Amino acid sequence: MADFKKLRRNLPAPPTAAEAPANLSSPEIAPADGRSARATGRTKQLATRVREEFHDELKMYAAKHRLKLVEVLERGHEALKASQKGSS
């Protein structure tokens, strides 16, 4: 296990309030990365094991059509439901 006591001795003293930058007194604003703007409603995680060939084919299809893997699965599910609805 690392001995952090040695590291603390080698660190310089923290800056005084006068030496600290002025941005410490300004409000903290988180950068907007667009995640909240692109809310999809997908809140449940789905994990499964598939054959390597299927995984590679799924990823290639998604990349070729500029889709996320979940979008390919959702579209496939909708197509399967539609085809079964027509055959019933």
In eight-state DSSP terms, residue 23 is: G
Determine, yes or no, domain membership for 71: yes
Structure tokens, 73 = 């699965």
Q: What backbone phi and psi angles, to 5 degrees, belong to 13?
A: -70, 150
Structure tokens, 83 = 């085809």
pLDDT of residue 13: 79
State the total domains in the chain: 1
Determine, yes or no, domain membership for 77: yes
pLDDT of residue 40: 75
Determine, yes or no, domain membership for 13: no
pLDDT of residue 55: 95
Give the span between the Cα atoms of 62 and 40, in whole angstroms: 18
Determine, yes or no, domain membership for 64: yes
pLDDT tens for each residue of the chain, 88 residues long:
566 666 666 777 777 777 777 666 766 676 666 665 567 777 788 899 999 999 999 999 999 999 999 999 999 999 999 999 877 6
Range of the domain at 67: 52-82
Determine, yes or no, domain membership for 66: yes
